[in-house]
Amino acid sequence: MEQVRTRVSAYARVASDLRAQIRDGAFRPGSPMPTEAEIAAQYSVSRQTVRRAFQDLVAAGLVRRVPGSGTFVTPSSRYLRQFGSIEDLMALSADSQMRVLRPLGEAVDPAAAGRLRLSDDHVATASFTRLHDGEAFCHTRLWLPPWVHQLLGRVDELASPGVLSRVTVIALLDEVLRSPIQDAEQSISVEAATPEVAQALEVAPGTALLRIDRVYSDTAGDPVELAVSHFHPDRYSYRVRLRRHVI
């Protein structure tokens, strides 16, 4: 399957597409972006939707807004994403690629099985890197419960080492799960690169890397995936938007 459908809001879809165009060089650093009216007409959305998309791009450091002049592209040397929802994680496929290192297959892993709240130690596992402009910025190892692996079946994008595709695993899962992915419990830490991860990210073993663990759960509250990712220190920046609840 070459493309996957994802449930993304209108503003996230517009922001993701504009982000990809900026990354691909469609808009040069310092050049003006199309106006809100032009983008609204292009995507058949409201100007308010476009304004929200621009807000995300500003927060990500990809564009700057000059009152009375317009919106302009700002240069950026790192792959930078802002995450605030499951849809944002699914949208990684818009401007990055996945390269399989270890194909999806069965394994026995007590630690992963425990985090997935399984009754025995059998899981399915795979590992891959994500690339932007041909450079690996992230190494991910994932584990799935056997029942999720059975629902997923054979997926060409995860079947062989070296396969390169524009998919995200959570988007693939969301297509087959009986209950869609609802949330993710996330923890962030720093960890020294193992030889395997160091080789995949082209860094020296022992290099300090950002580590992000996520356990994804469906609407029934059942864990459906555990993903442990390590990020290249010079090729990735991570941002999260925090909002205050007003009572």
State the CB neighbour count (10 A cutoff) for residue 41.
13
pTM over 0.85: no
Please tell me the predicted confidence (pLDDT) of residue 31: 87
- The secondary structure element, H or E, covering residue 199 is helix 195-201
- Domain 79-240 in CATH 1.10.10.10? The answer is no
Q: Which of 21, 37, 133, 135 is nearest to 73 (CA)?
A: 21
Rounded to the nearest integer, the mean pLDDT of the chain is 86
CATH domain 10-73 topology: Arc Repressor Mutant, subunit A (1.10.10)
pLDDT value of residue 1: 36
Give me the residues paired with residue 210 across strands. 190, 231
Please give the pLDDT value at position 2: 38
Q: Do the Cβ atoms of 126 and 158 come closer than 8 Å?
A: yes
> Which segments in the chain show pLDDT lower than 50?
1-7, 77
The pLDDT, as a whole number, for residue 235 is 83
* Helices 36-43 & 47-59 angle (0-180, nearest 10): 110
Q: What is the pLDDT, as a whole number, of residue 66?
A: 83
In this prediction, residue 3 carries a pLDDT of 39
**What are the residue ranges of helices labelled H in 25-161?**
36-43, 47-59, 86-90, 110-115, 146-152
Please tell me what DSSP assigns to residue 99: E
**Domain parsing of the chain, residue ranges:** 10-73, 79-240
